[in-house]
Amino acid sequence: MWHLEAKSQLEEIFNGSSTSTRQQLSEVLGRTDLPKATLPAVIVSPMLHCATNSPDDLTLILKDYASARAFTLLILYVVLLFVSLIYVKTQKDFAKRFDATTHSMTDFAVLLRGFPPEATNEVELKKWAQEALLKCGLGSCEVEGVSIGYDFGDRVDKVNNMTNRFCSALELEMRRDAGGSNDVLKMELDYLEKLKEEDRKEVRQWFDGAGALKGTGDVFLVLKENTFKDKIMAKYQAEKGIFQYKNKIMEASVVKSEPPDVFWSNLHFPDSKIQHNERCAMLQIFFYFCCINVLVFLWNRSVVMPYLSAGSNASGPITILQGIIMGIINGQLGGQVWKAAYGVGYHRKDRADVWLYVMNLIMTFCNTMFSLLLVCYSVLVMNKEKSMTSPNYLEELSSASPVGIESSLAYNVYLMLIPGQFFINPLNGWIMGGIVPYLQNTLLANVIYVWYCLPTPVLQFLKVILPSAPKDLKKYDVLNAEDGLRAPQIGLPWDYSNLVLNPFLVFLSFFLVSTSCYQLSMFLALYAVFSFIWFRFMHLRVQSASFYSTDKLDWVVRLTWGAPLSTLASCAVAWNIRAGEIMSTSGIGYRWLAVLATYAMGCIIWVVLVLLIDPAHKENVSDQKSCTFAKCKTQWLFSWFNSNPIYTLKCLYYVDQLKEGWDHPLASGDDPTKVRFYSPGKEFLHIAPSKLESVMGGDLYDKLEFETWLEGLRRCICQIKQRGKVDPRFMAEEMQQLLAYQQNPPLV
């Protein structure tokens, strides 16, 4: 349908008297340049009307539609609210039952704070803690040991390198003990032993002399039985001064995070420093967010706006491409948020995860909404006259004129969400987090250390990009390659932000008249199924292990679910207003205020109900069965001792030189006499050889077959190191043997 808008042309048509109106209309159309997108044009008389429905009938139909939509959305809101509250209740009950029936390291620890920096002797602190319990009438509560928080913020990289070398040497020793001794393995072990001797000298200097390491004031008191913690905390609540060290009262509190979730290198950060770092990180993220949106604006100016100036709309593939770009941008933004979150200095991983989730949700929401607003602007520009003459959104729906604009808006939102926001984000996490780093690191490693095909300055520059690259260009050993190709950890904060944001965007489209609403709802259901299948694949096959030992992140996510849920309630109120059932005599400002107040009230109601069902401060759940520390450590392998990197190095390189006996548990695994450092994914290092057979339920492996398999792998490594390449046919034969063991790998 094409309408001639020029006033002079209309006067020529309707006021002329020399010729007929049809002839004048043809002459004017002949002199009018119509956009190609509108050809062929159809001229419809404004007096044309439907023979069966009058304008009043059309108004009644629209109001009935608005009323039915309001009722449907209200029912949907009530149902989702009820189901969501049931979910919150079941999650709380499950967590409570799991805590009561399962033993973990948090059941054996009490955190004591306020120690002087010089309190770094584990043996003395263990004796002091036992005497303090004896004085207050809790002599039956035996102390297993203490784990001291050391202030090593100035040598974090050194400590990480030392613990990695120690774990890598253990792996190579296990290969050697399994019958895989060869020249390459011997060379690697000799190289690591030389580095370990250097580490031994340096670590001993950390605990002797004036430059010895200081403590942060935090000491984890580890008990022999899980029932002792409740007795100690009950006594502490009644008498705050049961723990006095050098005439100073120590603060006691329960520990909710497992040992691998403690950021031991950040314990020296005070709360004021953490708050300052939070503000700096927010400014950094905000700057990065502004830079990204400048690029998004340039994209719209270069691609979308030319379509508008040509009289068309940037829809279809252009909008889909914009959605894909937004998915990639949101993924990159999430990476910057992760770097900022882990640089703040939090003491526990769960607090860092919460901050990461909240910031990632806010930034992703603002970034996506900015792009959606640009798309909506393009639609309004294309329908400039209609948008200016159409009634206000919250006026009674008595005319069909805004229906076309709203339908166009909803359809463009649909194109942006499908597949970009819904499906590109997860795929981007796999591609950018798994495939691209693997290919990039493999290519750089070959260019620098195998082919050596570029000038030395260029190789030095490329080495900066290669993760875990050594200092020189001569050797890129197995340990560095393993670190460089390590998969990223499971990122629940990113997954959660999309699970909250995507329903919110779909519910926003319910404000509009559109045939795309049912399609968005259908794809939202498919997205839930896709996420369940995809993240099981991603988390279990592509990403490395990560600890989430508390429910703090889940609890915050449940609170923020009120944001998309309350959108349905405000939608119902908006459609009731458009149906003329409420606020028919109120001004537009009051109507908008009612919609916003409904949304705010819905959020408040949700938060209050969640807090009533699942309060922020959980009550202490007493264990139903008693368990010893030694038994619990055999089940979980990690402990408060072997997760502490400084204490592990102390046991490894310093305790053995002491003349007197070390009356304190070592940082060990399954064998209490062997020093081990716990690293997620390296649990096999902690199992004692005497227990491997019982773990596997029979013979661990066929030694002859395993030596054959290991020999093939060893020959591949020798070819790579000596010739810089591998015969493809030889590699194919060896890979067949390696893949045969992939289904049932030998544990050594």
Render pLDDT for 377-398 as a digit per residue (tens, 0 to 9). 766 666 555 555 566 778 877 6
Is residue 605 in a domain?
no
Q: What percent of the chain has pLDDT over 90?
A: 26
131 pLDDT tier (thresholds 50, 70, 90): very high
pLDDT at 37: 44
- Would you call 745 helix, strand, or coil by DSSP? coil
Q: Distance between CA atoms of 309 and 304, rounded to whole angstroms?
A: 9
- Is residue 181, in this structure, part of any structural domain at all? no
pLDDT of res. 99: 82
pLDDT level of residue 728 (50, 70, 90 thresholds)? very low
Q: Structure tokens of 190?
A: 């000799």
- Please name the residue that has the structure tokens 């390491």: 213
Q: What is the pLDDT of residue 142?
A: 93
pLDDT top residue among 719 and 306: 306
The single residue listed with the structure tokens 């000596």 is: 722
In the block, tokens 């049809």 appear at 22
Terminal alpha carbon distance of the chain: 76
DSSP state of 251: E
Q: Identify whether the C-beta of residue 328 lies closer than 8 Å to the C-beta of residue 394.
A: no
Compute the CA torsion angle 398, 401, 405, 407 (nearest 10 deg).
Answer: 60
* Residue, of 467 and 174, whose pLDDT is higher: 174
Tokens representing residue 307 in the block: 């379509």
Q: Say if 224 falls within a structural domain.
A: no
- Sequence-ordered alpha helix ranges (H) in 224-348: 227-238, 271-299, 305-309, 317-341
Condensed to tens digits (0 to 9), the pLDDT of residues 137-177 reads: 998 999 999 999 999 988 998 999 899 889 988 888 887 87
More confident residue, 475 or 265: 265
Q: Single out the residue in 548, 564, 582 at which a domain terminates.
A: 548
437 assigned to some structural domain: yes
Residue 602 confidence class, pLDDT cut points 50, 70, 90? very high
- pLDDT band at residue 83 under the 50/70/90 scheme: very high
Please indicate whether residue 466 or residue 119 has the higher confidence score (pLDDT).
119
Does a structural domain hold residue 366?
yes
Three-state DSSP at 439 gives helix
* Final residue of a structural domain among 507, 524, 548: 548
Number of H helices, E strands in the chain: 27, 6
- Cα dist. 36→5, 40, 304 in Å? 17, 8, 18
461-465 average pLDDT score: 76
Confidence of residue 362 (pLDDT cuts 50, 70, 90): confident
- Containing domain of residue 704, as a range? 690-748
Mean pLDDT in residue range 528-545: 81
Structure tokens given for 510: 């319910």
Q: Which helix (H) or strand (E) holds 64?
A: helix 55-101
The residue among 533, 548, 563 that closes a domain is 548
Is the pLDDT assigned to residue 109 strictly greater than 70?
Answer: yes
Q: How confident is the model at residue 666 (pLDDT cuts 50, 70, 90)?
A: very high
Which of 321-330, 461-470, 565-574, 585-594 is predicted with the least confidence, judged by mean pLDDT? 321-330
Q: How far apart are CA 678 and CA 683, in angstroms?
A: 7
pLDDT at position 651 is: 93
3-state DSSP assignment of residue 109: strand
Number of domains comprising the chain:
3
The radius of gyration computed from the CA coordinates of the chain, to the nearest angstrom, equals 34
CA pair distance 427, 266, nearest whole angstrom: 33
**pLDDT at residue 59 in the model:** 74
* 335 in any annotated domain: yes
The residue written with tokens 């919250």 in the block is 394
Chain segment 302-319, per-residue pLDDT in tens: 766 665 554 454 555 655
The whole-number pLDDT of residue 700 equals: 40
Phi first, then psi: what are they for 496, rounded to 5°?
-65, -40
Q: Which residue has the higher pLDDT, 386 or 703?
A: 386
Most confident of 9-18, 19-28, 396-405: 396-405
Over residues 247-259, the pLDDT tens digits come to 899 999 999 899 9
Which pLDDT score, from 0 to 100, does residue 703 have? 44
Residue 260 has pLDDT above 80, yes or no: yes
Contacts of 148 (CB under 8 A, 6+ apart): 119, 120, 122, 125, 215, 218, 219, 220, 644, 646, 647
How far apart, in whole angstroms, are the C-alpha atoms of residue 743 and residue 301?
53
**Any domain includes 53:** no
Is residue 224 predicted with pLDDT exceeding 90?
Answer: yes
Alpha helices in 207-248 (DSSP H): 227-238
